[in-house]
Amino acid sequence: MLDIKNLHVAVGGKEILKGLTLSLQPGQVHAIMGPNGSGKSTLSYVLAGRAGYDITEGSITYNGEDLSALKPEERAAKGVFLAMQYPVEIPGVTTMTFLKTALNAQRRARGEPDLDAIGVLKLVRAKAKTLNVSEEMLKRPLNVGFSGGEKKRLEILQMAVFEPKLAILDETDSGLDIDALRLVAEGVNALRDPSRAMLVITHYQRLLDYIVPDRIHVLAGGRIVAEGGKELALELEAKGYEHIVKVPA
């Protein structure tokens, strides 16, 4: 489903990813772990198509297609979803209006008919309940005044509503207390599906107790420096990154 080969990415002329190779099959959940500044968010942004993240070498193939040639909105319509580390606050656009606009934009791009306001409301309400997202939150401007936990829950709600094929979760666990973490993890696990792939990015092993990955990649200095099964997370937790990561000079 996703094939990243020898990916080099520069931001503002500075090379951040330095030859990253990774492959993800439908139904799989892979985790990317790595210290701060190792390039995790850079990878997530380049997958979602953010401007200013230049691919200088290598390739990203998604379902046989060159992902880098697509606009962010085209990627979304084709099933790519990035839950952002820092969801953006947008005053003046209510959360519900945003959800409806985004969902229908994706549907339109896929040649599906629009859902009317009531249809969207029903869909969102059903999913919001299990994620403990209140009606009141849906009426507020998007992410404005939301706590860290509320923002992350709203990201997962969007994932549930949009039903992407490839979900990238960038530090969705950061800033969450244990209850919120469990709630978010349950939401994510409920979306595990043989047709869906997930890339779970995290700094801590904690999240992986709840979302058990098929494979873990350790990112440091813009490269994958270690790979393994879920036990790798425990090793990292016990010994710290320095012991496993031989950061290339």
Ligand X SMILES: Nc1ncnc2c1ncn2[C@@H]1O[C@H](COP(=O)(O)OP(=O)(O)O)[C@@H](O)[C@H]1O
Interacting residue ranges for ligand X, rule: CB under 6 A = 11-12, 14, 16, 34, 36-42
Residue 41 touches Mg ion, criterion: CB under 5 A = yes
Q: Are 146 and 154 in contact (CB under 8 A)?
A: yes
- Find the binding residues for another protein in span 9-48 (CB under 8 A): 48
Query: What is the x/- site pattern for another protein, positions 108-147, by CB under 8 A?
Result: -x-------------------------------x------
CA distance 83 to 184: 12
The residue within the footprint of another protein, chosen from 50, 140, 192, 203 (CB under 8 A), is 50
CA distance 15 to 56: 9
Could you tell me the smallest distance in angstroms from the CB atom of residue 221 to ligand X? 9
- Find the binding residues for Mg ion in span 85-104 (CB under 5 A): 85
Could you tell me the smallest distance in angstroms from the CB atom of residue 90 to another protein? 5
Q: Are 146 and 133 in contact (CB under 8 A)?
A: no
3-state SS string for the chain:
CEEEEEEEEEECCEEEEEEEEEEECCCCEEEEECCCCCCHHHHHHHHHCCCCEEEEEEEEEECCEEHHHCCHHHHHHCCEEEECCCCCCEEEEEHHHHHHHHHHHHHHHCCCCCCCHHHHHHHHHHHHHHCCCCHHHHHCEECCCCCHHHHHHHHHHHHHHHCCCEEEEECCCCCCCHHHHHHHHHHHHHCCCCCCEEEEEECCCCHHHHCCCCEEEEEECCEEEEEECCHHHHHHHHHCHHHHCCCCC
The residue within the footprint of another protein, chosen from 39, 49, 187, 213 (CB under 8 A), is 49
Query: What is the x/- site pattern for another protein, positions 56-75, by CB under 8 A?
Result: ---------------xxx-x
Which option in Mg ion, ligand X, another protein, none does residue 49 bind, with CB closer than 5 to 8 A by kind? Answer: another protein
Taking the least distance from each CB to Mg ion, the nearer of 41 and 143 is 41
- Which position has the token pair 């992986």? 208
Taking the least distance from each CB to another protein, the nearer of 81 and 241 is 81
Which option in ligand X, another protein, Mg ion, none does residue 202 bind, with CB closer than 5 to 8 A by kind? Answer: none
Which option in another protein, Mg ion, ligand X, none does residue 38 bind, with CB closer than 5 to 8 A by kind? Answer: ligand X
Which option in Mg ion, another protein, ligand X, none does residue 105 bind, with CB closer than 5 to 8 A by kind? Answer: another protein
Report the interface residues with another protein, using CB under 8 A: 48-51, 71-73, 75-77, 82, 84, 87-88, 90-93, 98, 101-103, 105-106, 109, 141, 158, 162
Report the interface residues with Mg ion, using CB under 5 A: 40-41, 85
